[in-house]
Each structure stands twice: as C-alpha cells, then as structure tokens.
Structure 1
Amino acid sequence: MNNRLTVLAGPTAVGKGTISTYIRQNHPEVWFSVSATTRPRRPGEIDGVHYHFLTDDAFDALIAEGRLLEYAVVHGRHRYGTPAAPVEEKLEQGIPALLEIDLQGARQVKEKMPDARFVFLAPPTWEELVSRLTGRGTESEEEQERRLATAKRELAAESEFDVIIVNDHVRTAAEELLSLMGISTSD
C-alpha cells in the first residue's frame, strides 16, 4: 500500500462525493478527512461525518490558530477547510488518507505537501456535468449558475494535477483512484 496523501479535486457535481461514498462503503481501510465548512447542512448530512459545520467565528478561530491544512471560499459564498492534525496523524500511522476538496484547497495542499498525489476528477462531458448539477436539486437556480461558472474555470486547471480520472462510471472511477493509492480492488 502506498500511504502518501491523495488529494481528489474537481468541479461541482462531478461526483467527488459519490465516489467517496463508494470507497467508504467498500474500502474501510481508506481514511477520509472530514472538512470544516460554514455552509448550512443539506438534508441527510451529519455533523462530523459529512462535514464539521461551523459558525464563521469558529472557522476564523481555526484559521487564526493555524489548524487548517487548507481553506478557501468556494462558489463565492461559503468557506471550507481541512483540519491539519487528523491528516498528519493518519499519515504518521501509515494509513492511506484521502482528501476530497476543491481546486483552491488542492493548490494550498500542494504548497504545504508537494509529495501528495493530486487527482483531478473530470466529467465525461460539460453537458453531463450540467445535468448532474441540475438533477440533484439541492441548489437554487442562482447557486447552480454560480457553481457552473466556477466549474468552467476549474476544468481549465486540470493540467495542474498528477492524474486525471474521468467519472463516467462511479465504480470504475473509484477503482482507478484506489489503484493509484496502491489499494487492491479485487475481491
């Protein structure tokens, strides 16, 4: 097993969360960082499992104390960040660690941890990305437009990553990611 940090990034609605869920369900040996965010919970999300949902003041305190590996304002609205201590602990223990973060965050991690593996998750087509975003029905039309504008910029940055995986099928994309991490996907 290759235990260096793996960073998974990509535009909104590309399927990062779906692939992460697949890996969580089928490969418990992979540790996932739980990001902190100032955005409100979506239906079904659990604090401490999907995200650490924080107030702006609590998020500011983490920044001031230098306790975030990365943080950013995403889609021009809410802040997201990765608590540093749990990531460092898992890597020291030799446990394969995966960060599922946005492009801004991936760039910050690259500055602090250049030996990490950086994976860009891409949609099969732009039309498919739009369909996934509008089909999930969790954002207003205004929020969808904001996210799609961000996605256009992010897709142009895929060359900054070590590996590009096209998410045209969840299991195939997840297994490709696991293979990069040195984790066997055969039963």
Structure 2
Amino acid sequence: MIYPIVAYGDPILRKPTRFIEKGELDLKKLSEDMFETMHSANGVGLAAPQIGMNIRVFVVDGTPFSEKDEDEDDEPDLSLVDFKKTFINPEILEESGEEWAFEEGCLSIPGIRGDVYRPEKLRIRYRDTEWNEYVEEYSGMAARIIQHEYDHLLGKLFVDYLPTLKKQFIKKKLTDISKGNVDADYRMRFPNRR
C-alpha cells in the first residue's frame, strides 16, 4: 500500500515519536508499505511520521547512491549496495568523527535542498521486523541517511540545520508546500490545503 507523504507544516512532523511494543503492529506489513511508499517517491529513507504515524520506525535503502550516474563524476558508494533496512525503536548511542556537508532533501519538503553538516560515524541500537535487537556502526552516506531519518523521530527536519539567511530565503516556499502549492510526482497530504 502506498501512503501519501505528509507535507511540511503538518504538526506530526514536529512531534517526537513514541516507542512501540512487541506485537503492537504488523511490522512486516508496515515495513513493506513504507518501502513501497518510499520507492514510489524515489526516496532513500522514510520515517513513520512522514506517513502520519507517530511511532519510532524508519526504513532506508541506499541503493541509488551505489549506482553510477551517467551525468555525474562521483564514483558510486559500493558500501550502500545492500543497505536496505527497517529500524524499529532505534536509539543513536553515539555519533563521532568529522562533521561533513552534503546537500540533503526530504520527501516531505519537495523542491528544497540544502547543505547539512553531520558527524561521519554513528552507533545505533534498533530492532528489526522479527523483533531481533542489533547494535551496529555506520559511517559516511549510510550514517547520514540514518541521521536524517532519525531526526524525523525527534520532530526535527533538515531545514532546521540551515543557516538563518537560507531559512529566510526558503520561508515562502515552505509556506507554499504546507498549502499544497508545490509540484511533486508522488501523492502528498497537505496540512493547510484549502
């Protein structure tokens, strides 16, 4: 099932999420639906608040970063070839390393991108759809994708990290998104559409 993506301005995107209990949800079905929704929108990550659910779950698929783009000089990141996971009740235990910039975007904020600085490494504890617990370390682009989605669980968005001048520059665009005045090639749910 493909969910509409919740647009910027919806209060659920600013609300910290709650931990879920074992057996509370059909996690395999939710995970499949989230991957289907994310892939239909050409995303590399999707958090539960972005489909209107206030729970600590996100999915990632870094495969697009592992493929060579004919128009780009950058080499593909082969560490992301099989980086496709569901994170349930995740907790980042530690972030470390040099902060580095990358131009991020978000399915809830179509058409806006900006450089965000994040630490290069992290250690995270989470459960999978079988309720198995893991503690794993990630670095580079994998860590960045996780950090971006994890922020959604805290009620944070990538635009929060942008410099004040950039925030002022995009303010009208953000208002337009919340009103539904935006072109996206996927279904969205707008908080202030009249």
Q: TM-score range by the shorter chain?
A: under 0.3
> Whose relative contact order is higher, 1 or 2, with alpha carbons under 8 Å and at least 6 apart?
1
Give the TM-score taking structure 1 as reference length.
0.28
